Amino acid sequence: MSGPDHHRTKTVWGLVVFTGLAFGSGGLLAKLLIDEGVDAFTVTAFPVAIGAVLAWIVAWTKGEVSRAALWPGAILGITTSTIPPLFFNIGFETLSAGLVTLIITLAPAVTAAVAHLVFTDERFNPLKGLGLAMAVGGVLALVAAPGVIEGASYTGAVWTIAGAVVGGCGAVLARWFAVRHGGFSLVPPQLTVAAIAPVIAGLVVGRSLVPRGGFTARDIAIMGAVGIVASYAGLRSMMLANERGTTGQVAMVAYIIPLVGVIGGIIFFNEVLTLWIVLGGILILGGVTVGGRGSRPTPRSQRAR
């Protein structure tokens, strides 16, 4: 492949890697806040609110606001930016980060199955299957590393599995809307709904959204970083990838996130680099590469049945 198609593919993979890095680092910071007693609903809503404010400012400045994209963006706000991260954060309350990471990797498999039914250029093929298998194997290797799985909760597992299923379906919906309305125009309403919905849900179920003693300056700084890097920049990158690539390519973000989490644990939390971690990293990167070769868009890539 050469010319514009080759450049487009390289751009998509650059966006996928950046999105994985952004979401992965955001997940590490979210886990840190939850471990320190900040409620999962708060960790879901407050950073996204910061990202929403930034998104509206940029959208107005660049003329990206579209009335036609408001309702699609709001729908994505629930299906991709509220339910999955909220359910994952609830899972973090009772499960280890390693186990949550493993469950999250179910999302690309769900995405591949649904996209096969929706898009003419997203048919399942052997390369996709091999890539998914390698990536899942890599995550299994990461989880097998000593000390990763510290315990399990059936309730936390159910929440996390539900988040992965909804997120996998939402990825297909995100591409559907992105190729019709432009990814950037969807970001402001998407983040706005994703900031409001967890607050309402938290109040309904009786969660304490503000920690005892209030937020520390460190809490605010961390939530601000998550809002800018993960909620805004990561989502903007993912929506652009949805415009230019296939859901199969974009779904590979879910396999980069655990790699970021493990590397972050080694750097920031003094976790030990083991052979399992090295093997997992190799398999994940190999799976992303192989799966990506089976997910290249065709000239009719933007058509759906």
Residues 6+ apart with CB under 8 A from 139: 101, 102, 105, 255, 258, 280, 284
Q: At 222, list the tokens.
A: 């961390």
Residue 131 pLDDT = 76
Torsion of CA 198, 199, 205, 210, to 10 degrees: 120
> For residue 229, what is the DSSP state?
I
Rounded to whole angstroms, the Cα distance separating 112 from 105 reads 12
Identity of the residue numbered 40: A
Residue 5 pLDDT = 52
Identity of the residue numbered 200: I
Identity of the residue numbered 91: G
Entry pTM: 0.75
Q: Does a structural domain hold residue 305?
A: no
Each residue's pLDDT tens digit in the chain (305 positions)?
Answer: 444 554 455 688 889 889 988 988 888 888 889 888 899 899 989 999 999 999 999 999 999 889 999 999 999 999 998 999 889 888 878 776 666 766 777 777 778 778 877 877 677 778 777 877 887 787 777 666 665 555 556 777 788 888 988 988 998 998 899 888 888 899 999 999 999 999 999 999 888 888 888 899 999 999 999 999 999 999 899 888 888 877 777 877 777 777 777 777 677 766 666 787 778 778 876 776 676 666 555 544 444 44
Q: Does a structural domain hold residue 29?
A: yes
> For residue 234, what is the DSSP state?
I
Q: Does a structural domain hold residue 304?
A: no
Q: Which residue has the tokens 């125009």?
A: 185
Q: Does a structural domain hold residue 128?
A: yes
In the chain, alpha helices (H): 4-35, 40-62, 70-79, 83-94, 97-104, 107-118, 126-144, 154-181, 183-204, 217-226, 235-244, 247-251, 253-268, 275-293
3-state secondary structure of 304: strand
Q: Does a structural domain hold residue 303?
A: no
3-state secondary structure of 119: strand
DSSP 67-100: GGGHHHHHHHHHHTTTHHHHHHHHHHHHS-HHHH
Residue 135 · residue 253 · CB < 8 Å: no
Structural domain including 24 reads 4-293
Q: Does a structural domain hold residue 301?
A: no
Rounded to whole angstroms, the Cα distance separating 133 from 146 reads 22
Radius of gyration of the chain (CA): 18
Residue 303 pLDDT = 43
What's the domain count of the chain?
1
Q: Does a structural domain hold residue 267?
A: yes
What are the angstrom distances between the C-alpha of 268 and each of 32, 265, 272? Answer: 11, 5, 11
Residue 294 pLDDT = 63
What are the angstrom distances between the C-alpha of 273 and each of 23, 24, 32, 73, 264? Answer: 22, 18, 20, 41, 11
Rounded to whole angstroms, the Cα distance separating 158 from 138 reads 22
Q: At 112, list the tokens.
A: 């591949």
Residue 120 pLDDT = 74
Q: Specify whether the backbone of 208 is left (phi greater than 0), alpha (psi in -120 to 50) or beta.
A: beta
Q: Does a structural domain hold residue 26?
A: yes
> For residue 273, what is the DSSP state?
P
